[in-house]
Amino acid sequence: MFRAKTILFTIVMVAALVLVACAPAAAPAAAPAASGKPFGTAKCAPNCTYKDMTMCFPQLGAESDWRTADTASFKSEATKDGFNLVFSDAQQKQENQISAVRACIQQGVSVIALPPVVEDGWDAVLTEAHNAGIPVIVVDRTVSADPSLYAAHIGSNMELEGNRAAAEFNKAMPNGGSILEISGTTGSGAAVGRSKGIREKLNSNIKILDSQTGNFTRAEALPVMQAFLQKYKAGTDFQGIFFQNDDMGIGALEALKAAGIKPGDLKIVSVDGTRGGFQAMVDGWFIADVECNPLLGPQVADMSLKLMNGQAIDKEVLTNETVYYPDNAAQLLPTRQY
Ligand code: AHR
């Protein structure tokens, strides 16, 4: 009996030792302090060129014309500069983006340009990239993770865009009234910022009667607008609409037209400044379109090369943007790149 217990004990101990010996080693910690070089510096520094660069770009989806232009901007920049772009489309699902980032870490890319579909939930994968010594540039929308986990953020000031939309309603509705809002993807930096921004600056005599998400797509905004029109009477219950992007505005216009609403009946403000948004201004629907510039590829490529070469970069790079109006929309429309 004693002998059997001893043998069993020995087997368990040997098995445990084998398991420990075979377990994967912990990912190496990033070594900026050990090497004395800034985090993300590549072996080719200080002479890295675009030929040395592999950029991972786990795009969040293809939900809007803005997004299509953003993807094109990265792809054309990669062709122009001659770097390798590892592109994927997460179809607006965070889990797909996380898997794509993990695959890029495995592949040992030079840099990851991450446009996060939502703000929360990035800590673990950003830590993995950091531990692997791969710098992450957060692109377009923001993350709520600790800034020490990523190299920089390049994108728009979404809160300012909301402030600008509010200013347009304040001008257009000096006597006050009510507006509806169709917001973007719930939990996304773009929706959070724009929702906050409009509420900060809207005059107190203008009320947001209702707000529902249209997930930044034409298809999802249409039924939201139809439901609003069942519930509220245009012109009586509400006098304006804030669309948090042009695609949702364009989708919702179908519902407005079907309900017999005419251009000019409502004060409509949108965000992006896409060709579709410009057309809606030309056609008399939108009274203003707050710019959100998707052409981020060149800036992100430039920053990536700097990181590889160990050069200093700015932690926060905000895109310089404006507001577009119907008075010169027809003239500007042919010049729009997206
Ligand atoms: O994050 C930018 C936003 O995402 C754009 O306003 C919108 O069109 C896109 O889907």
Q: What is the mean pLDDT of residues 228-243?
A: 98
What is the distance between the alpha carbons of residues 305 and 40, in angstroms, rounded to a whole number?
Answer: 10
- For residues 70 and 296, is the Cβ–Cβ distance under 8 A? yes
pLDDT single digits (tens) 286-316: 999 999 999 999 999 999 999 999 999 999 9
Q: What six digits make up the tokens of 34? A: 């050990």
pLDDT single digits (tens) 168-216: 999 999 999 999 999 999 999 999 999 999 999 999 999 999 999 999 9
3-state secondary structure of 179: strand
> Under 8 Å CB-to-CB from 50, ≥6 apart: which residues?
81, 82, 83, 301, 305
Residue with tokens 């439901």: 227
Q: What pLDDT band is residue 35 in, cutting at 50, 70 and 90?
A: low
Q: 66: CA distance to ligand 1 center in Å?
A: 6
Q: What is the mean pLDDT of residues 35-51?
A: 93
* Torsion of Cα atoms, 181 then 245 then 86 then 81, to 10°: -150
- Other CB atoms within 10 Å distance of the CB of residue 275: 17
What is the distance between the alpha carbons of residues 241 and 178, in angstroms, rounded to a whole number?
Answer: 9
Mutate to test the pocket of ligand 1, among 292, 293, 321 (most ligand atoms within 8 A of CB): 292
Single out the residue of 325, 319, 332 nearest to residue 156, CA to CA. Answer: 319
Please, what's the b/e burial string for 19-37 (b: 16 or more CB within 10 A of its CB; e: otherwise)?
Answer: eeeeeeeeeeebeeeeeee
Q: What is the mean pLDDT of residues 32-56?
A: 88
- pLDDT at position 1 is 39
Q: What six digits make up the tokens of 119? A: 């703000």
Q: What value does the mean pLDDT of the chain take?
A: 92
Q: What is the mean pLDDT of residues 67-84?
A: 98
Nearest ligand 1 atom, CA 61: 10
Percent of the chain with pLDDT over 90: 89
- pLDDT at position 118 is 98
User: pTM for this one?
Assistant: 0.90
pLDDT at 32 over 80: no
3-state secondary structure of 185: coil
CB distance 245 to ligand 1 below 6 Å: yes
- For residues 147 and 80, is the Cβ–Cβ distance under 8 A? no
Q: What is the mean pLDDT of residues 36-41?
A: 90
- pLDDT at position 155 is 98
Percent of the chain with pLDDT over 70: 90
Q: What is the mean pLDDT of residues 329-333?
A: 98
Q: What pLDDT band is residue 332 in, cutting at 50, 70 and 90?
A: very high
Q: What is the mean pLDDT of residues 315-321?
A: 97
What is the distance between the alpha carbons of residues 169 and 190, in angstroms, rounded to a whole number?
Answer: 19
pLDDT at 25 over 70: no
CB distance 140 to ligand 1 below 6 Å: yes
pLDDT at 163 over 50: yes
Q: What is the mean pLDDT of residues 267-279?
A: 98
Q: Whose CA is nearest to atom 6 of ligand 1?
A: 245
Q: CA distances (Å), 7 to each of 16, 21, 171, 275, in order?
A: 14, 21, 86, 77
Q: What is the mean pLDDT of residues 51-55?
A: 98
pLDDT single digits (tens) 133-152: 999 999 999 999 999 999 99
Nearest ligand 1 atom, CA 246: 8
Phi and psi at residue 160, to the nearest 5°: -65, -35
What is the distance between the alpha carbons of residues 259 and 228, in angstroms, rounded to a whole number?
Answer: 11
Higher pLDDT, 294 or 27: 294
pLDDT at 2 over 60: no
pLDDT single digits (tens) 109-135: 999 999 999 999 999 999 999 999 999
- For residues 178 and 164, is the Cβ–Cβ distance under 8 A? no
Nearest ligand 1 atom, CA 140: 1
